[in-house]
Structure 1
Amino acid sequence: MRILHITDFHIDSPDNDNENLRTGYYKEFIDNLFYKITEHNLNDIDLIINSGDFVNMGKVENFPHASAVMKYVVEKANLSKTDVAVCLGNHDFKMKVPGTIEEKFSPFDDFAKDFVPGALLKECKRAKLFLSNKKNVQVLIVDNALTELDKNQPINLSLAEMDAIISMTREFAVQSKDLVVVTHYPVINFPMAKYSAEVEGWAKDHVWRDGYNLQHRLGNLRPHGETIFICGDGHIPDAFKTENRAFIMTGVFGGDYTKRHSIKGGASKSFYIETQARIIDFSEDKPLQVSTFNYKPIAYDYDPGAGNWLYEQSELREISVKVKASPQNVVSKTNILGEPLQKAILDRVRIEKLYKIGRFVTSPETSSFSWVSINRIFENQQIFNTLIDKSVEQINLMIKDSSKTMMLGVDFYGAMIGTHISLRVGSEICCLSSRSVSDENDDLMHILLQRLAQDSYKDIIIVTDVISSGSSVLKIIDEIDTLYKKQTNNELDVKYHSISVIADVKIQRSDFDARVSSILTACRDLRMPIFKTDQLPDVETLPARFNATGNID
């Protein structure tokens, strides 16, 4: 995915000689930018983001000119108006004048209707979630500028509004590899921003307090997906990454350079803001990269008619916030197929007293101290039907091409569930009779490998009833990879995914998490502790009630 980020046009007057985006100059200004973008082979752009402040100080009569400038940028990028994300800035509505929120929002709303970043998936009061047209990337646009209190500050979200944004993201974006979040005000205070220490009250006026909670909750919701926060405001351009989140602010694109100052307590303070555009690149096979284009005057004094765009490959700083791992703070990669489905399973286990205590062998190395009957759970037909429905929904979101997907059902219930899902999504299905990948599964593995060798599959979804340590599934993955390489002399280039009925989120499965791209389960909050064999009494003292490796004890 390649994104062009520009922000903060601050159009004060289309005829103002001190503005780069004035009527007689904006095309030349933008032409020169795209010449430099093309010169560095960065012109194959998928999405344009403008993060607000299209007009200056509520001068909504300038939106038609802002629209003309945006449309020219879209034309130069060889895109359409359905490849553009825009959000409201704090200058984009009239403040401290009579009128309802809807009336104040109306001029920006009319302007923004021309620009969308793809298909609308869902919206709530403060946000809209889109699926990009060009790549399988979701774009969450959050309004954090329009306040009902007429304060020129970031809004305060109610808990219900925040929950609605998270709920919407949980429904659609949990399994997407990349999520781009667009806001005007930054969701955090950029750590290298000296300006925030120089100006009294800076954070209150320019940093969205509720953004800290938003980025934290989104990061935890999508622990193994990249979430990229792109903001406007433009005062402190910076870019850094921490864990699975990146934060990018780009300098202003327009504005009257003679008015770049702030006034506090009657004292005027001049400040310098970069005139910038950024290209943000990311994909599955390379890390996030940021390229910055700075507009510099050719003379000592700023001249809005004579300048050049200069390119630099920006350093995306890594900031570590890692905490020593413990069972309480390790974030699992395991995601549920829906809270109602999990609650239905937990209720059935409790009401029907399905939870059994004992020694249940899950692999040669480990045993579980508890077990439940999947058959008894599925006696409730609604649970089974919902499991299939929710699995199909998530697969359709995370898999680009079902014809390049192989469903692999393991054991009886994995085969049954996998067959139903494959019929719904239109994928191939292969079933293994047991968790063992030797002996009785040899013929089935041979057929599977033949299919993988004949067609260029992109995804393999392993479906099973219960994932404990994940070791059995890992052995299947290792066997597939090893045999494929032995037969073809090539590495198998696929992504592995898993779907299960139960997978206790408290069990540490670091090796499993590393090998499997997405882990979906119907129930992750049923505690099923596992122990290494050498941590338990011998089998004569504590006999095994069940052996999932193939033998009943």
Structure 2
Amino acid sequence: MSSIILHISDLHVSLDKKYDGTPKQHDSYLSATEADKNILYLECFIKFAKEESKGKTIFLLITGDTTDWGEQNEFSYALKYLNKIVDDLSIEKKNILLIPGDHDLNRRSLETLIAEKLDRSIDEKNDAKFKNFSDFYENFLGRTFNPNKIIFDSLIIENSIALIGVNSSYGIDLEQKLGFISIEKFETELKTFNTENDLKNIMCCHHNITSVHENKKSGQWDPDNRKRLIAKLQENDINFIFSGNEHTSSLEKIASGEITISDAGALSSTKYDSAFKIYELSINDDIVLTNKIYGLQKTGDFDNPYYWDSRTNTRAKQDEYLKIFIKNQPRMDSAITDLTTPDTAETPAKSDNGLEKIQKKENTPDNYYNPEFTDVLYSKVKDLKIFHTGHFHWSETSRAHNWIDVSKLIENRDNLNFLKNAIIDVLDKKIGSENIDLIIGLGYEGNILATKSAIKFDKPYSFLPYSYRHHEHHDFETELNYENDSKQYKNVLIVTDVVNDGRTIRKLIKKRQSTFFGNVDKVYVISLFYTGESILNYDVLNFNFIKTIPNYDLQSDEEVNNIQYYTVKSLKVEKCPYGKNFREECFIYKDDLSCVNLFYDEKKYISKQS
């Protein structure tokens, strides 16, 4: 029998009258009364949900605001309504995760506590404000709710997914109204959670961490606390959140597309997005959740005023799959679905924009090739038109007639996430993180690209500038932050954006950082692009290979032969063929044709001449 997650939220079971007996305005089809309309509303929902979940095991997730004011009478009716849902849909209580919302805490109890003594601890405040919810929780689920834990409960699904119940109302008091948790407590509790199981953790909370309809993206969460939480989630590879609160059935991405948030909408809202979600599970090598939204249609007939139907929400992109990976596999943007054909030719082929696509036998066993990254990266180069022609002068020994502007890729957050994941995929498939002792980001771009790999695989990390840019940095910026006298870093990974002949890397190893690398056995190098002219293989950056290239200028090169190299994509960048007399002989440079960019050594040369 297959399984589904039924995600409901924000029932807001409400009192019809205030404490003084006057009518209370509320936004819910479910009130704390015996009115038949409440049961009629529930029965319409249950009938539809039962049909949609026929033959499947239901795991129920409720992401907060079950009541409106957190009053005992509201919880009494909420217990009645939820028990009806659970009984009619044959849901086992062990398969339910119930999250508290800010409307489930009782502010009257909190006010009374503080009135008696102003200086109260957070534990005392939580015990008071969650007293009614705690009683309801135990009556409904038969389990104890601890209001002073951040991760208070969990739900394991198919021995693959762990829904982690996070109390985002932990820090709310009479002044603080936004979602807030103790990051230190969260981290401590997370370390002891599921330590023995290989489960994919999904955070479940009430407060929305991003916003769909408000003019801000921080949602209903304390902004500073939110930043720390997002960083902690990324550190722990938690890339999916189920939430409620905003009353919108949204599907949003944050953190450069790394974290996806799914809000169910409000199950019984009279004003906003009356909706719920069902996620169908498919578990093979990956975990795939098929995201389906069902909305209340308010055009029923007299005898059946409410009916539900599936719907397509353009903003939420409901036709997409929510893919959650439980192994070290690339996380692709869902928008990238049309992959180009794998490269097979070994001869140059001109594209429509004149970009020369040079094949380096990329899909041979010794080289890295993954169409999800290799081909898509090439398509991005074409689409963004970042392959430029002209004369590009990097140093006296490095001049090219073509150039790839990687900065244009990095400045887009979705592309940046894609590039970082490409580096991770190469490392995982061709090297193995267990074989790496230290990761170095080379150059500004390499520093940006490499950091996620270091975080994901928990490796020591450092940054170094390119060899020919050392003069632009202070001395302390050009040194590694690690000593290697005892040879604890035997295998080092260098990540950079573009490699042509590897001269810069060999100079880094043998000249700039010779003391450190003298005790390194193996140097692995990963780049986004290889722009050299040689047939690509993992040995292509070693000096013994380079010196066999006809007419190669060995000036200022270094003899290094312990490099193993992989790249995501090969794109030939032609070197300026005019040697040291390029100023007089290179027509692009001499006559200022196309694009002429002067960098570093050439600028110094011109300054000296003048």
TM-score computed with the length of structure 1 as normaliser:
0.52
**Displacement of 1:70:** 1.7
| Residue of structure 1 in register with 2:12 after alignment | 10
Q: Deviations over 1:303-326 (max 9, x none)?
A: 997211122255543588325444
2:268 match: 254
Task: Confirm or deny: 8 A CA contact 2:106 2:129 kept in the other structure.
Answer: yes
Picking from 448, 459, 462, the partner of 1:329 is 448
Is the alpha carbon distance of 1:230 and 1:537 closer, same or farther for their aligned partners in structure 2, counting shifts above 3 Å? same
1:328 match: secondary structure: helix
- In structure 2, C-alpha distance between the alignment counterparts of 1:247 and 1:219, rounded to whole Å: 14
1:218 is the counterpart of 2:230: no
**Which whole-Å deviations, capped at 9, do the CAs of 1:355-408 have from their partners, x for residues lacking one?**
488999xxxx999956679xxxxxxxxxxxxxxxxxxxxxxxxxxxxxxxxxxx
Identity of aligned residues (%): 12
Cα distance between partner residues in 2 of 1:124 and 1:158 = 10
Q: C-alpha distance in 2, partners of 1:117/1:328?
A: 51
Residue 19, structure 1, aligned to residue 29, structure 2:
yes
Distance 1:116 1:274 in 2: 27
- Give the letter for the 1:218 counterpart: L
SS, match of residue 19 in structure 1: coil
Which residue number corresponds to residue 156 of structure 2? 132
Contact 1:277 1:292 in 2 (8 A): yes
Q: Tell me how far 1:203 sits from its aligned partner.
A: 7.5
Per-residue deviation at 1:11?
1.3
Q: Distance in 2 between matches of 1:29 and 1:7?
A: 15
TM-aligned CA deviation for residue 114 of structure 1: 5.2
**Paired residue for 2:471?**
none
**What secondary structure is seen at the aligned counterpart in 1 of 2:178?**
coil
How far 1:42 moved relative to its partner? 5.9
Please state if 1:187 is matched with 2:202: no
Shift of 1:132: 0.9
Alignment partner for residue 534 of structure 1, among 529, 540, 543? 540
Give the equivalent residue in structure 1 for 2:487: 354
Q: Once the 2 structures are TM-superposed, how far is the Cα of residue 206 of structure 1 from its aligned partner?
A: 3.0
Question: Does the 8 Å contact 1:254/1:275 carry over to 2?
Answer: yes
Whole-Å Cα distance in 2 between the matches of residues 206 and 546 of structure 1?
A: 50
Report 1:130-529 matches (<5 A): 130-147=154-171, 149-151=173-175, 153-164=177-188, 167=191, 176=199, 178-190=200-212, 193=213, 196-197=214-215, 206-209=220-223, 210-222=225-237, 227-241=239-253, 243-254=257-268, 257=270, 272-284=271-283, 287-298=288-299, 306-314=305-313, 316-317=316-317, 321-324=413-416, 325=419, 326-330=445-449, 331-332=452-453, 353-355=486-488, 508=526
Q: What is the alpha-carbon distance in structure 1 between the residues aligned to residue 169 and residue 176 of structure 2?
A: 8
Letter in 1 for 2:203: V
* Structure 1 residue 159: Cα displacement: 4.7
Q: What aligned pairs does 1:27-106 form with structure 2 within 5 A after superposition? A: 27-40=39-52, 44-95=56-107, 97-99=111-113, 100-101=124-125, 102-106=127-131
> In the superposition, relative to structure 1, how do residues 84 and 131 fare at CA in structure 2: closer, same or farther (>3 Å)?
closer
Cα 1:129–1:56 change in 2 (3 A) is: closer
Distance 2:143 2:448 in 1: 36
Summarize deviations over 1:118-169 as a string: whole Å, max 9, x none: 999x998322363515442111211122445313621444453454366456
- SS of the counterpart of 1:189? coil
CA pair 148-322 structure 1, distance change in 2 beyond 3 A:
closer
Counterpart contact for 1:292–1:312, Cα < 8 Å: yes
CA separation of 1:142/1:208 partners in 2, compared to 1, >3 Å: closer, same or farther? farther
Cα RMSD (Å) of the superposition? Answer: 4.9
**Structure 2 CA distance, aligned partners of 1:32 and 1:162?**
39
Distance 2:143 2:277 in 1: 21
Check whether the contact 1:188–1:208 (CA below 8 A) recurs between aligned residues.
no
Relative to structure 1, the CA distance from residue 338 to residue 71 in structure 2 (aligned partners, 3 Å threshold; closer, same or farther) is farther
Aligned 8 A contact 1:358 1:545 in 2: no
Q: Hey, what's the Cα distance between the residues in 1 that align with 2:282 and 2:148?
A: 29
2:112 is equivalent to residue 113 of structure 1:
no
Distance of 1:8 and 1:141 partners within structure 2: 16
**Residues 112 and 51 of structure 1, relative CA distance in 2, 3 Å threshold:** same
Cα offset, 1:545, TM superposition: 8.9
Q: Secondary structure at the match of 2:130?
A: helix
Kindly provide the amino acid, as one letter, of the partner of residue 108 in structure 1: F
What is the deviation of 1:238? 1.2
Closer/same/farther in 2, CA of residues 118 and 240 from structure 1, 3 Å limit: farther
Q: Secondary structure at the match of 2:101?
A: coil
Name which one, 1 or 2, has greater alpha-carbon Rg.
2
Partner residue of 2:590?
none
Q: Distance in 2 between matches of 1:41 and 1:110?
A: 30
Pair 1:79–1:135, CA change in 2 (3 A) = farther
Letter of the structure 1 residue corresponding to residue 276 of structure 2: A
In 1, the alpha carbon distance for the partners of 2:526 and 2:147 equals: 35
Structure 1 residues 215 and 75: CA distance shift in structure 2, 3 A = farther
Normalising to structure 2: TM-score of the pair?
Answer: 0.48
SS in 1 for 2:543: coil
Distance 2:303 2:459 in 1: 55
**Structure 1 unaligned regions, length at least 5:** 258-271, 340-348, 374-465, 470-506, 511-530, 548-553
Q: How far is 1:64 from its partner? A: 2.2
- CA distance 1:235–1:137, change in 2 (3 Å): same
CA distance in 2: counterparts of 1:304 and 1:53, whole angstroms: 30
Q: Secondary structure at the match of 1:534?
A: coil
Q: Aligned partners of 2:279 and 2:15: how far apart in 1?
A: 30
Aligned residue type for 2:298: P
Q: What is the CA deviation profile of residues 81-110 of structure 1, one whole-angstrom value per residue up to 9, with x for unaligned ones?
A: 111111111111221521241122121112
CA–CA distance in structure 2, aligned partners of residues 304 and 13 of structure 1: 26
State the Cα distance separating 1:13 from its structure 2 match: 3.2
Distance 1:189 1:110, change over 3 A: same
The structure with higher relative contact order (CA 8 Å, sep 6+) is 1
Q: Distance in 1 between matches of 2:177 and 2:219?
A: 5
Change (3 A) 1:241 1:85: same
CA offsets 1:12-62 (integer angstroms, 9 cap, x no match) = 138999734654344443333233234445662441111111111232332
Does the Cα contact within 8 Å between 1:88 and 1:184 map onto a contact in 2? Answer: yes
Number of residue pairs the alignment of both structures matches: 354
Shift, 1:186, TM fit: 0.3
Q: 1:206 to 1:55 in 2, by over 3 A?
A: same
The residue aligned with 1:398 is none
- Check whether the contact 2:5–2:279 (CA below 8 A) recurs between aligned residues: yes
